[in-house]
Amino acid sequence: MVIALNVEGGAAPEWVELIPAGVQVKGRDGREWLNDRPADVVAATAGRLPLVLDWEHATEVKASKGEEAPAAAWIEEVEAREGGAIWGRADWTPRGRAQVEAKEYRFLSPGFDFDRATGRIARLVHAGLTNTPNLVLTALNREGADITQKETPLNFMTRLREALGLPADADEDAVLAAVTQARAVNRPVDLAVYAPRAELATALNRATTAEAERDALKAEKTDADIETALNRALDEGRIIPASADQYRTMCRTQGVAEFEKLAATLPVIAGAADSRAKSKIEDKSDTALTDEERAVCRAMGTSEADFLIAKKAEA
């Protein structure tokens, strides 16, 4: 099966055939697919427009390796025609148009999602210029090329549950929790075998975000627990402010529980607790005014902040 680009009058065609007519779509390499619902394929594809039309399926073969995969054209519109053929309106890039018009590339090869169980084509995902097509019109991939086929969105969650060993009725939260757990214990699960790359990336990103938020909350709680333990030891006079940073480091490296065990065995430093209490009272008095002082502020038309500054200066 070969899908040729019909270059009329030397110009690159505006409309290109992406799926040939006929219910059975057969490749030159022996594979077959079912195109008995072309209208459904067009409807499912419409939500993904524009589709990239690249060179030799670079979007699948090269982009995943971090290599360049530029567009030769963009498929801006798709429609079903007589016999079930699916065509797309191509907006060519200058380089893509030039190579087609020069006949450097003469064929198209479509990439599409399909249901593994039935072989039914679900939606188009991209297309590529090629000179080694697999289909009569254009191929799912180049003849002999090893391009991973994708599952339809309907099968994504089902196969992901299977990969993670979850029951068929497991909801999205359960799936994300299982992905997070698998990553935490470094369990080797090749999810790419069971799910499309885009949907898998979304699931993994959500799991990573959830992990980051959980870690941030855990760190915040740990900091609060450390300060509480240190303040308790300071109030009891078991440690002094000068050593607080040293014990804070101990809490972070060995845990708050270990510090609390140590603090319980430390003798009370003479006068440390009284000094701590006095310091707290002085700190509070430095930033607070008595009722009488507030009355003076009102009588003199002075703000409490200015009065406090004058009070500290006088002291």
pLDDT tens string for the chain (315 positions)?
Answer: 445 665 555 788 899 999 988 898 888 777 888 999 999 999 999 988 999 999 888 877 776 667 778 999 999 999 999 889 999 999 999 999 999 888 888 888 898 998 888 889 999 999 989 887 766 443 233 333 333 334 334 456 666 777 777 887 777 778 778 877 777 666 555 555 445 555 556 666 777 777 777 777 788 888 888 888 888 888 888 888 888 888 888 888 888 898 889 888 888 787 777 777 766 655 555 556 677 777 777 777 777 777 777 776 665
Distance CA 238, CA 232 (A): 9
3-state per-residue secondary structure call for 214-229: HHHHHHHHHHHHHHHH
Residues 6 or more apart whose CB falls under 8 angstroms from that of 16 comprise 5, 53, 75, 87, 88, 90, 108, 127, 138
CB atoms within 10 A of CB 136: 18
Q: How many whole angstroms from its chain centre is CA 122?
A: 25
Distance CA 182, CA 191 (A): 11
Exposure string over 97-117, b if 16+ CB within 10 A, otherwise e? bebbbeeebbbbbbbbbbeee
Distance CA 78, CA 38 (A): 11
DSSP class of residue 237 equals T
Distance CA 99, CA 95 (A): 6
φ and ψ of 133, to 5 deg: -75, 155
C-beta separation of 248 from 241 below 8 A:
no
Count Cα neighbours of 78 within 13 Å in the Cβ-side half-sphere. Answer: 31
